[in-house]
């Protein structure tokens, strides 16, 4: 690239928006030139927009410090943003706002979204870098269908990401016939508003996360589906999910029991996972991991607190790979995916990097 792309972050005051700012901080290709949010924040300096007026307390939700360059930027009203002024727009609003804003922006500009607003539209691919970037061809269909110069492409629900990444090599190599998954999800997946109250999760497990299981089931099938002509044929194996919340800050742990079309030894499964994703790793993208999947042999691994930040939170760790006796050609394992890195804005940034390198976003 000969130049840095001009980027707007929409929904910049929320948690997902803050994560976007962190993932774009010091980025070699993308420069955030505009922060947009709701009218309530518009006109304020960014640092003021996220400060509690009563106490002076900064409502900053990331472990990383707030990037210095954001502090004095004036927040603009997302509804009046002129999308044509940007090469790329990251949206991190709530889903209802996204339904209104994203199509407006996409008329002129590529939109990478962390929301679920358009995930289930037929002409909208849900990207996981390294897994289904061949679905990018669908973006042309979307542009044509909708008469847009830009496009919308959402990333999946953070609980889908690790499952789909771990299933991808199995599906490619051996064929997946079905999967039973139980998630033990982190608090940060619920955000801050309302988020999970400490009283509700201390010494506790919450056995239900509204809407989550349906998302995981549907998105996994779409992501591992096959692009045929101008549409994705969803993978037809059943995905049976039980999603729970545990008292962990960041990082989703998931147990998976998978049936395969043809028998595979534990070593073959490990090998397939270790080999997977070499293409995207080889592209050396700024936000990319060194291994799309990190296979672990210590039976006590992965452990979420210890391993969630491996490779910048962008690798999916898989351990305890062993045979399963329930499903035909069954194999089971435990996976760990960082829900606010690979499963959120940093994953979205990796998508943008890929699309730029491949020419879907103009550099």
By the rule CB under 8 A, 187 interacts with a copy of itself: yes
158 is catalytic: yes
Q: Which of 14, 150, 330, 343 touches a copy of itself by CB under 8 A?
A: 330
Question: Which tokens go with 41?
Answer: 């924040």
The partner residues of 77 in beta bridges, in order of sequence, read 37
Print the binding letters for residues 161-180 with a copy of itself: x by CB under 8 A, - otherwise: -----------------xxx
Do residues 274 and 216 lie in contact, with contact meaning Cβ atoms separated by under 8 Å?
no
**In terms of CB distance, is 135 or 215 closer to a copy of itself?**
215
Angle between helix axes 15-24 and 345-357 (nearest 10 degrees) is: 50
- Using CB under 8 A, count the residues that bind a copy of itself: 61
Q: How far apart are CA 230 and CA 234, in angstroms?
A: 13
Question: Which tokens go with 295?
Answer: 């296979």
**Which is catalytic among the residues 135, 158, 171, 307?**
158
DSSP 213-257: HHHHHHHHHHHTSEEETTEEE---S-EEEEEEE-S-SS-EEEEEE
Contact window for a copy of itself (CB under 8 A) among 104-112, 143-151, 198-206, 219-227: 198-206
By the rule CB under 8 A, 2 interacts with a copy of itself: no
User: How does DSSP classify residue 337?
Assistant: E
By the rule CB under 8 A, 329 interacts with a copy of itself: no
252 is catalytic: yes
Q: In Å, what is the CA distance from 262 to each residue of 166, 173, 177, 327? A: 17, 9, 9, 12
Contact window for a copy of itself (CB under 8 A) among 96-104, 120-128, 234-242, 344-352: 234-242
Work out how close the CB of 307 gets to a copy of itself at its nearest, in angstroms, rounded to a whole number.
10
Q: How far apart are CA 82 and CA 105, in angstroms?
A: 8
**In terms of CB distance, is 38 or 180 closer to a copy of itself?**
180
Print the binding letters for residues 242-271 with a copy of itself: x by CB under 8 A, - otherwise: x-x-xxxx---x-x-x--------------
Q: How far apart are CA 71 and CA 49, in angstroms?
A: 9
Q: How far apart are CA 296 and CA 310, in angstroms?
A: 12
Question: Which tokens go with 31?
Answer: 């420069």
Helix (H) or strand (E) holding 279: helix 278-282
Work out how close the CB of 301 gets to a copy of itself at its nearest, in angstroms, rounded to a whole number.
7
Q: Which of 2, 3, 147, 210 touches a copy of itself by CB under 8 A?
A: 210
Q: How many CB atoms lie within 10 A of CB 356?
A: 20
**Which is catalytic among the residues 135, 171, 243, 252?**
252
Work out how close the CB of 163 gets to a copy of itself at its nearest, in angstroms, rounded to a whole number.
14
- Phi then psi dihedrals of residue 230, to 5 deg: -110, 20
> Which residues lie near a copy of itself (CB under 8 A)?
54-58, 61, 63, 178-180, 182, 184, 187-188, 192, 195-208, 210, 238-240, 242, 244, 246-249, 253, 255, 257, 297-306, 319-320, 324-327, 330, 332, 334
Residues marked as catalytic? 158, 252
């Amino acid at each position: 690239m000969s130049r840095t792309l001009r980027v707007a972050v929409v929904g910049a005051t929320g948690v997902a928006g803050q994560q976007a700012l962190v993932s774009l901080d010091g980025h070699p290709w993308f420069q955030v030139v505009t922060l947009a949010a709701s009218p309530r924040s518009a006109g304020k300096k960014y640092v003021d927009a996220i400060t509690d007026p009563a106490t002076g307390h900064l409502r900053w939700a990331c472990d990383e410090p707030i990037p210095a360059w954001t502090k004095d930027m004036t927040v603009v009203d997302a509804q009046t943003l002129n999308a044509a002024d940007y090469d790329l727009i990251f949206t991190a609003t709530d889903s209802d706002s996204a339904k209104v804003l994203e199509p407006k922006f996409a008329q002129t500009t590529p939109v990478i979204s962390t929301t679920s607003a358009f995930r289930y539209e037929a002409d909208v691919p849900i990207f996981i870098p390294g897994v289904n970037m061949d679905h990018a061809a669908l973006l042309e269909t979307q542009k044509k269908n909708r008469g847009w110069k830009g496009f919308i492409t959402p990333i999946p629900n953070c609980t889908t990401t690790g499952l789909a990444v771990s299933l991808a090599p199995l599906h490619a190599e051996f064929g997946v016939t079905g999967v039973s998954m139980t998630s033990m999800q982190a608090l940060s997946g619920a955000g801050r508003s309302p988020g999970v109250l400490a009283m509700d999760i201390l010494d506790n497990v919450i056995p239900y996360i509204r809407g989550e299981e349906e998302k995981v089931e549907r998105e996994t099938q779409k992501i591992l589906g096959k692009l045929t002509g101008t549409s994705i044929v969803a993978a037809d194996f059943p995905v049976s999910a039980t999603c729970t919340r545990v008292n962990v800050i960041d990082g989703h742990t998931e147990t998976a029991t998978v049936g395969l079309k043809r028998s595979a030894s534990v070593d073959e499964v490990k090998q397939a996972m270790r080999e997977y994703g070499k293409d995207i790793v080889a592209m050396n993208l700024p936000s990319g991991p060194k291994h799309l999947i990190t296979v672990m042999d210590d039976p006590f691994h992965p452990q979420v607190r210890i391993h969630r930040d491996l490779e910048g939170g962008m690798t999916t760790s898989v351990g305890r790979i062993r045979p399963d006796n329930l499903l035909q050609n069954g194999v089971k394992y435990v996976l760990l995916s960082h829900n606010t890195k690979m499963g959120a804005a940093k994953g979205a940034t990796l998508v943008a990097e890929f699309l730029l390198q491949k020419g879907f976003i103009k550099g």
